[in-house]
Chains A and B, each alone.
Chain A
């Protein structure tokens, strides 16, 4: 074991360097390689990082071992921001998710991006993303987290607007970046405050005992600042609007960035800063409230979406809300547990959606699908597993992690039982809209356009689906109420924190029972409603106002456009007019006045240079005399 710890200390930088090498290689040579090669190299780069991470993780798997830090080089030493890696259970969990799921998505992309004119460019972005995300999760100081945080945002921008000749894609990319920047504003202010009080960005000094430095108000303030950051990156209310638009990017990129990894960075940030949140009940409650409201709100919108990726996008927002509830309930390990299981089953769902879109000739409207299970059995059955997993049907992955969060919230008592109730409602809705999604796409009569020829995707795409489906089915067992293996594994990262644990004994069974009944009811209601055309139409008529509102996202985007963007644009316009008319106008007016006076006083004007010379001397003299007289 000690040898493996040494291995980790010596070689863990490879986890970042390998995808980076893939990026550099493909950036310069990728476009000259025959098509699959660039993708294969990118996949190997990501895969080898996974292998290194796995080996380096072995000493920690049993739990109880503290993290190690590895300093690489100086970055901004005066603020305690070095390139320094922290290899502890929390970063191990994140790294394995990013490289593991990431590698499968790389592999899948080799098939999905086949024939695209910028095939190799896509893989450079994917590798660069992996590099950035790994910097984020492996950082040992806040500035380096912020480096990864911004870099993943940049990769997200590049991948959303990958098909940049489509105006929608270009607009969505910019929107994502700008909305995220609002969150980053919060992050920066949080870091400014951290530096003001701690004089460093390093986790070693900030997170060990922040209670010895911060007072109550500032612990809350920093917590809220980080929450704002998380609201941007993890697409929570009110900044979630960029994520549905982000679906304009290639679907596997959505799976990796906008479902499994990048969007969870906000949750990770809160979990990593647990020591600060631990000091402020107010900050925790704010976090939990944002999460619960987002979970519910996005689930309602997901019920009315007709785009196969649209449902998944809102579902991601909703599930991120659960994770935020988890960390907001001080159940940091439960939040991270859900982050991991969701990473697996949501990546699977997106890849499945991609498989469908691929075979339907880029059709994304579910009203033009149906009955695809027969044509695409592997995709269909893996999606069935994923749907049940996210719906929270035991013993699939989503059940365990969601139950852990809800149980912890309930157990925390008081206000958190209200949060728990919102979570249960959301769980029912989740089961319902995901079943609707599955039924509309895979069951019932075909409603395809006449030129559609759906077919199963190639093996390079279905293999990742199968592997992820196995994961979605079984990964929950790493943490069950009988054997809290994952929680035990993570504990060294949360040593000094008052961790909120899930309920125990009878209550635990009751809570799990309620969640399970809710999930089954949601699935059953969704299946019965959407499997039968008459019942479907009756339901859609009855709930038409809700569903049509949900389909439009309740007009939130339009509201922002009118109430936020338009006034800001008007202010900018007014500033520009003010600048050219008033500020510059005053200068030009003054110049004209001087010129006139000059002409009046000096009829025999002798040209520009000479009058400047005279002015220079005269003016200087006047000034000197004046200064001297003032007794300077």
Chain B
């Protein structure tokens, strides 16, 4: 029997979790390095998949294994241009997160097990094409993350964990209702199928689409999160341990934007076209509002958390721009934000380990004694701000030029986000790192050590590669995003605008001449 690579990928992550959980309890130094090594295997598998992944639309590495035929549920998985980048970046962030957790002394075995389970679940979310399988993974992600926050978090961890759980569980509940309703409608009394492939292009009536769009959309909006259902995020981030924050920002939020594309736009195209003004408005509010709130946060981790809200707003704007550049930008920004914000959370965690505070006011002059830490923070900040040549620019720029054709007013407002991003990140950098270290504790702060620097090597490399040669990803994304637009044009009245036509000056002159 042929071993299918996606099952292997998820199986390895689960197996790694089991192996770590079986490590002897009296050897607390083992789980981190063992978990780190084991988590490199999924990187290799995902890397191989990415290498083999063809630049064409359609599902690749598909597997189909019937689970329960009467209900049409199957182990139906595969990747396309939307999910392949997310699968790869998920596997890359896991070893980084585990490597950044060497300071975890409380039950490290359980901690690493939870992270590996989280990896398996999130990979499942991105590869699942059966809606029940998707839903199970989507829900299951909550469990390890809630434990990560609730057990290894800071002072207010229980509050944050419960809030995180309830908020997102509420959303998924709506989605489950939507899934069942969708499949019942689609099967119309016949044999139901939860296969995504079977649910594309059903031609559901517009009102039906709108209701289902809302049911899925609210679940994903909470995950993204969009304003005003975002308030779980700052609490979860501030309380979560570093590894939790990295994966939360890097991977979990992307389940929301990914879901919007995979389900809301593709399954309910008519509704998606209708919903553009609403979604674009929420996205732009997120961009500006998230950034404005970020500026004045006294807590560095909360600042980065709010910056995520702003960046994710760009992704949603890109999706609902419904243009080639917009969609490409949204998908690649999923990856880029995972890298830069993940790295910023790592750095905040490293500062916290040194000084046991996240308050910006407690710092000052850190660069003098920790120049590498400062330089890394600045580098990742600039990448996050969207300085071209680094990765953050590519996604945001594609989103803006893509949205310019269909949503000009929203685009103008969204573009102010680039000013605000410079303000909150550089001001934070200024207060934390520059000046003379005036507080005693900051005078003895230690710079990054070798092991910490090593964690950043893959991230820095990705920032540069995706900044200077994003085509390595774009060429694999574009066929899929183009196919989505074709699908939209085929199933709705929507037409992707070509360049906007004006009455050119040249013609006017000719008329007069």
Whether A575 and B505, one on each chain, are in contact in the complex, defined by CB atoms closer than 8 angstroms, is no
Whether B325 and A632, one on each chain, are in contact in the complex, defined by CB atoms closer than 8 angstroms, is no
| A631–B468 alpha-carbon span in the complex (Å) | 51
| B47 proximal to A (CB < 8 A) | no
| A279–B212 alpha-carbon span in the complex (Å) | 50
Asked whether A164 and B178 contact (CB < 8 A) given A151-B388, A154-B387, the answer is no
* Identity of the chain B residue whose Cβ is nearest the Cβ of A594 in the assembled complex: B166
| A189–B297 alpha-carbon span in the complex (Å) | 29
- The answer, among B167, B231, B415, for a CB contact under 8 Å with A583, is B231
| A105–B440 alpha-carbon span in the complex (Å) | 39
| B174 proximal to A (CB < 8 A) | yes
| A192–B162 alpha-carbon span in the complex (Å) | 43
| B276 proximal to A (CB < 8 A) | no
Interface digits, A291-331 against B, CB 8 Å rule (1 contact, 0 not)? 00000000000000000000000000000000000000000
Interface digits, A146-188 against B, CB 8 Å rule (1 contact, 0 not)? 1100110110010001001111011101100110011011001
The residues of A that contact B293 with a CB separation of less than 8 Å are 572, 575-576, 579
| A214 proximal to B (CB < 8 A) | yes
| Stretch in B5-13, B27-35, B431-439 with 4+ CB within 8 Å of A | B431-439
| Stretch in B38-46, B110-118, B405-413 with 4+ CB within 8 Å of A | B405-413
Whether B418 and A576, one on each chain, are in contact in the complex, defined by CB atoms closer than 8 angstroms, is no
B182: shortest Cβ distance to chain A, in Å?
Answer: 8
| B185 proximal to A (CB < 8 A) | yes
Asked whether A165 and B365 contact (CB < 8 A) given A632-B208, A632-B211, the answer is yes
Asked whether A632 and B181 contact (CB < 8 A) given A78-B324, A199-B499, A576-B297, the answer is yes
Whether B505 and A215, one on each chain, are in contact in the complex, defined by CB atoms closer than 8 angstroms, is yes
| A509 proximal to B (CB < 8 A) | no
| B67 proximal to A (CB < 8 A) | no
| Stretch in B94-102, B341-349, B355-363, B470-478 with 4+ CB within 8 Å of A | B470-478
Asked whether A209 and B468 contact (CB < 8 A) given A181-B419, A624-B181, the answer is no
Whether B418 and A77, one on each chain, are in contact in the complex, defined by CB atoms closer than 8 angstroms, is no
| A209–B506 alpha-carbon span in the complex (Å) | 9
Interface digits, B431-453 against A, CB 8 Å rule (1 contact, 0 not)? 00111100000000000000000
The residues of B that contact A213 with a CB separation of less than 8 Å are 499, 502, 504
* Identity of the chain A residue whose Cβ is nearest the Cβ of B291 in the assembled complex: A572
Asked whether A219 and B499 contact (CB < 8 A) given A167-B435, A623-B173, the answer is no
The residues of A that contact B416 with a CB separation of less than 8 Å are 185
- The answer, among B177, B499, B509, for a CB contact under 8 Å with A620, is B177
Whether B328 and A150, one on each chain, are in contact in the complex, defined by CB atoms closer than 8 angstroms, is no
| A161–B404 alpha-carbon span in the complex (Å) | 35
Interface digits, A80-115 against B, CB 8 Å rule (1 contact, 0 not)? 000100000000000000000000000000000000
* Identity of the chain A residue whose Cβ is nearest the Cβ of B497 in the assembled complex: A196
The residues of B that contact A624 with a CB separation of less than 8 Å are 177, 180-181, 184
Whether A620 and B176, one on each chain, are in contact in the complex, defined by CB atoms closer than 8 angstroms, is yes
Asked whether A192 and B401 contact (CB < 8 A) given A185-B419, A199-B498, the answer is yes
Interface digits, B364-387 against A, CB 8 Å rule (1 contact, 0 not)? 010110000000000000100001
A-B contact pairs, 17 of them (CB 8 A): A150-B388, A164-B434, A164-B435, A173-B430, A174-B430, A188-B415, A212-B504, A213-B504, A216-B505, A573-B296, A576-B297, A587-B232, A615-B173, A620-B177, A623-B176, A627-B177, A632-B184
Chain A interface extent, by class: 35 or more
| B352 proximal to A (CB < 8 A) | no
- The answer, among B398, B423, B504, for a CB contact under 8 Å with A211, is B504
Asked whether A197 and B505 contact (CB < 8 A) given A164-B367, A628-B181, the answer is no
The residues of A that contact B20 with a CB separation of less than 8 Å are none
Chain B interface extent, by class: 35 or more
A617: shortest Cβ distance to chain B, in Å?
Answer: 10
Whether B503 and A215, one on each chain, are in contact in the complex, defined by CB atoms closer than 8 angstroms, is yes
* Identity of the chain B residue whose Cβ is nearest the Cβ of A193 in the assembled complex: B404
A215: shortest Cβ distance to chain B, in Å?
Answer: 4
* Identity of the chain A residue whose Cβ is nearest the Cβ of B435 in the assembled complex: A167
| A575–B285 alpha-carbon span in the complex (Å) | 12
- The answer, among B178, B208, B228, B388, for a CB contact under 8 Å with A146, is B388
- The answer, among B176, B403, B418, B423, for a CB contact under 8 Å with A185, is B418
B243: shortest Cβ distance to chain A, in Å?
Answer: 24
B282: shortest Cβ distance to chain A, in Å?
Answer: 13
Whether A78 and B500, one on each chain, are in contact in the complex, defined by CB atoms closer than 8 angstroms, is no
| B394 proximal to A (CB < 8 A) | yes
A384: shortest Cβ distance to chain B, in Å?
Answer: 39
Asked whether A579 and B231 contact (CB < 8 A) given A164-B434, A216-B505, the answer is yes
* Identity of the chain B residue whose Cβ is nearest the Cβ of A626 in the assembled complex: B177
| B62 proximal to A (CB < 8 A) | no
- The answer, among A165, A191, A214, A584, for a CB contact under 8 Å with B435, is A165
| A198 proximal to B (CB < 8 A) | yes
| A612 proximal to B (CB < 8 A) | yes
The residues of B that contact A171 with a CB separation of less than 8 Å are 430
| A213–B505 alpha-carbon span in the complex (Å) | 7
The residues of B that contact A4 with a CB separation of less than 8 Å are none
A194: shortest Cβ distance to chain B, in Å?
Answer: 8
Asked whether A78 and B328 contact (CB < 8 A) given A189-B412, A623-B173, the answer is yes
The residues of B that contact A253 with a CB separation of less than 8 Å are none
| A622–B14 alpha-carbon span in the complex (Å) | 34
| A195 proximal to B (CB < 8 A) | yes
The residues of A that contact B292 with a CB separation of less than 8 Å are 571-572, 575-576
| A166–B404 alpha-carbon span in the complex (Å) | 42
The residues of A that contact B418 with a CB separation of less than 8 Å are 181, 184-185, 188
Asked whether A197 and B174 contact (CB < 8 A) given A165-B365, A170-B435, A178-B422, the answer is no
A79: shortest Cβ distance to chain B, in Å?
Answer: 6
Whether A182 and B419, one on each chain, are in contact in the complex, defined by CB atoms closer than 8 angstroms, is yes
| A438–B335 alpha-carbon span in the complex (Å) | 56
| A143–B388 alpha-carbon span in the complex (Å) | 9
| A174–B176 alpha-carbon span in the complex (Å) | 48
* Identity of the chain A residue whose Cβ is nearest the Cβ of B416 in the assembled complex: A185
The residues of A that contact B368 with a CB separation of less than 8 Å are 165
The residues of B that contact A198 with a CB separation of less than 8 Å are 499
Whether B212 and A632, one on each chain, are in contact in the complex, defined by CB atoms closer than 8 angstroms, is yes
| Stretch in A68-76, A498-506, A533-541 with 4+ CB within 8 Å of B | A68-76
- The answer, among B162, B328, B500, B506, for a CB contact under 8 Å with A197, is B500
| B72 proximal to A (CB < 8 A) | no
Whether A197 and B499, one on each chain, are in contact in the complex, defined by CB atoms closer than 8 angstroms, is yes
Whether B177 and A189, one on each chain, are in contact in the complex, defined by CB atoms closer than 8 angstroms, is no
A331: shortest Cβ distance to chain B, in Å?
Answer: 22
| A616 proximal to B (CB < 8 A) | yes
| A630 proximal to B (CB < 8 A) | yes
Asked whether A211 and B408 contact (CB < 8 A) given A198-B499, A623-B173, the answer is no
Whether A576 and B296, one on each chain, are in contact in the complex, defined by CB atoms closer than 8 angstroms, is yes
| A576–B303 alpha-carbon span in the complex (Å) | 11
| B88 proximal to A (CB < 8 A) | no
| A460 proximal to B (CB < 8 A) | no
| A75–B508 alpha-carbon span in the complex (Å) | 36
The residues of B that contact A181 with a CB separation of less than 8 Å are 418-419, 422
| A197–B401 alpha-carbon span in the complex (Å) | 11
- The answer, among A169, A192, A214, A215, for a CB contact under 8 Å with B404, is A192
Whether B401 and A630, one on each chain, are in contact in the complex, defined by CB atoms closer than 8 angstroms, is no
| A448 proximal to B (CB < 8 A) | no
* Identity of the chain A residue whose Cβ is nearest the Cβ of B302 in the assembled complex: A576
- The answer, among A167, A188, A583, for a CB contact under 8 Å with B434, is A167
| A561 proximal to B (CB < 8 A) | no
Whether B419 and A78, one on each chain, are in contact in the complex, defined by CB atoms closer than 8 angstroms, is no
* Identity of the chain B residue whose Cβ is nearest the Cβ of A584 in the assembled complex: B231
| A619 proximal to B (CB < 8 A) | yes
| A569 proximal to B (CB < 8 A) | yes
| A203 proximal to B (CB < 8 A) | no
| A540–B333 alpha-carbon span in the complex (Å) | 59
